[in-house]
């Protein structure tokens, strides 16, 4: 008995799937890397909580709006032909191009020539819109990868930078595109905005209001897991991993269980997000997210060119210097503001300045001029002391 694999024992006693998955051939090209597929098979063999939740959904929720994705994923992991054929039948009746593309890619060995032709037609006409869906359609149909223009790539990045990442559905779609495009083209378009993407995992986490961070909707949780998968080696991804992998966030039912199985990787290192200094600032866009601590009742703020949001904050917080971890947020309510004393790694952001206008400050006992960001904020280094003032021409 000791020589029997876990998968064989499950088969003998009827306790679960065989977990053998696809063999031979080129393998999937969309999302299911060899490493990820091996992890999913381990989940299946070990009957982890995530696998059991996913398998229960496949067996019991036949009207799921994500049925094609779920059945195709189940087939890719287990090699269950019956489920694979169900996925193909479902795909032949839907216009969801993303799911059709995944069925085409993941269930390829089961496709008849007629079914393949019909599914290729579904993902090809009318032409798919959106960078991700166009990419998925081309790969699943064995067509040339779309020749995205520099303008399209720039627009994609600019949209995220301007705040689209706060929409979990848009962020999730962006993550799928980034991962697949990098895999097939060997090009990482994040390099065109390296600083933004390196900080994005923690900026996304800090953009969540305290109640939402404590009890995220399933799509928020899944978007976080997919963002980690884009670049798990980033330190910021490890903070996000520490938050996203908390047991209390495990999705037990609903459409999120399949996505959690796909993206939640317990083998990745995670760092306690409570150790993250609770603020994130982007000077290019003029965007600040900050919270006083990581409790559900923390004072949380968001400052951007479109205005100020806050939750659980004192009534007069905008008129006084407020500390957020090592950040001091200093309002310039008068012509000159005296900077508070700072220690160690403390930084200051002066705000309520004229957007994109000049500001005077003292550094190393010399007067300097800098420009406020589009929201009227200016980040100051630790060596800057004394007063921060508006120049005379701005005062007038």
Residues 132 and 47 grouped into a single domain = yes
Banded model confidence at residue 21, pLDDT cuts 50, 70, 90: low
Domain boundary among 212, 239, 262: 262
**Alpha-carbon distance 156 to 176, whole Å?**
13
Nearest to 278 by CA among 327, 227, 344, 245: 327
* Residue 279, in any domain of the structure: no
Residues 48 and 123 grouped into a single domain = yes
pLDDT for the residue numbered 14? 42
Q: Which residue in this structure is represented by tokens 């949380």? A: 300
* Strand 327-331 versus strand 347-351 pairing type: parallel
Percent of the chain past pLDDT 90, that is, above it, reads 78
Structure tokens belonging to residue 170? 């848009």
How many Cβ atoms sit within 10 Å of the Cβ of residue 251? 19
**Mean pLDDT to the nearest integer, 63-85:** 97
What is the CB-side half-sphere exposure of residue 394 using CA atoms within 13 A?
A: 18
Residues 163 and 125 grouped into a single domain = no
* Residue 248, in any domain of the structure: yes
Residues 107 and 172 grouped into a single domain = no
* Residue 186, in any domain of the structure: yes
Residues 21 and 104 grouped into a single domain = yes
Residues 111 and 8 grouped into a single domain = yes
Banded model confidence at residue 362, pLDDT cuts 50, 70, 90: confident
Residues 153 and 139 grouped into a single domain = no
Domain boundary among 143, 176, 198: 143
* Residue 268, in any domain of the structure: no
CA angle 299–301–305, rounded 5-degree value: 170
* Residue 44, in any domain of the structure: yes
* Residue 286, in any domain of the structure: no
* Residue 163, in any domain of the structure: yes
Residues 3 and 109 grouped into a single domain = yes
Total domain count, the chain? 3
Residues 167 and 220 grouped into a single domain = yes
Instruction: Give one DSSP letter per residue of 171-212, joined into a string.
Output: HHHHHHHHHHHHHHH---GGGGGHHHHHHHHHHHHHTS-HHH
Q: Which CATH number does the domain housing residue 80 bear?
A: 1.50.10.100
User: pLDDT (tens digit, 9 = 90+) per residue, 201-260?
Assistant: 999 999 999 999 999 999 999 999 999 999 999 999 999 999 999 999 999 999 999 999
Question: Does residue 56 surpass a pLDDT of 70?
Answer: yes
pLDDT for the residue numbered 25? 53
Structural domain for 379, as ranges: 297-395
* Residue 269, in any domain of the structure: no
């Amino acid at each position: 008995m000791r020589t029997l694999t876990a998968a064989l024992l499950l088969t003998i006693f009827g306790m679960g799937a065989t977990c053998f998955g696809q063999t031979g051939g080129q393998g999937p090209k969309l999302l299911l890397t060899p490493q990820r597929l091996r992890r999913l098979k381990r989940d299946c063999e070990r009957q982890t909580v995530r696998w059991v939740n996913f398998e229960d959904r496949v067996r019991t929720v036949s009207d799921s709006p994500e049925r094609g994705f779920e059945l195709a994923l189940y087939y890719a992991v287990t090699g269950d032909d019956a489920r694979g054929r169900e996925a193909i039948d479902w795909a032949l009746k839907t216009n969801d191009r993303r799911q059709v593309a995944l069925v085409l890619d993941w269930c390829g060995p089961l496709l008849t020539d007629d079914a393949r032709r019909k599914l290729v037609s579904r993902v090809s006409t009318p032409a798919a819109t959106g960078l991700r869906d166009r990419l998925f359609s081309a790969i699943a149909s064995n067509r040339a990868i779309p020749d995205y223009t520099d303008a399209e790539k720039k627009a994609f990045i600019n949209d995220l930078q301007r705040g689209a990442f706060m929409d979990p559905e848009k962020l999730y779609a962006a993550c799928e595109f980034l991962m697949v495009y990098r895999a097939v083209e060997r090009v990482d378009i994040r390099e065109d905005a390296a600083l933004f993407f390196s900080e994005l995992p923690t900026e996304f986490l800090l953009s969540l209001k305290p109640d939402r961070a404590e009890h995220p909707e399933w799509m928020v949780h899944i978007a976080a897991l997919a963002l980690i998968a884009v670049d798990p080696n980033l330190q910021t991804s490890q903070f996000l991993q520490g938050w996203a992998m908390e047991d209390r966030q495990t999705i037990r039912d609903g459409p999120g269980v399949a996505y959690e199985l796909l993206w939640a990787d317990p083998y990745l290192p995670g760092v306690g997000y409570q150790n993250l200094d609770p603020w994130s600032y982007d000077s290019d866009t003029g965007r600040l997210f900050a919270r006083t601590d990581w409790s559900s009742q923390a004072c949380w703020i968001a400052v951007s060119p479109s205005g100020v949001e806050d939750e659980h904050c004192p009534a007069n917080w905008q008129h006084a210097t407020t500390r957020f971890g090592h950040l001091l947020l200093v309002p310039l309510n008068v012509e000159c503001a005296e900077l508070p004393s700072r220690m160690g790694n403390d930084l200051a952001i002066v705000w309520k300045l004229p957007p994109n206008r000049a500001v005077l400050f003292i550094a190393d006992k010399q007067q300097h001029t800098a420009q406020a960001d589009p929201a009227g904020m200016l980040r100051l280094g630790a060596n800057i002391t004394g007063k921060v003032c508006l120049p005379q021409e701005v005062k007038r």
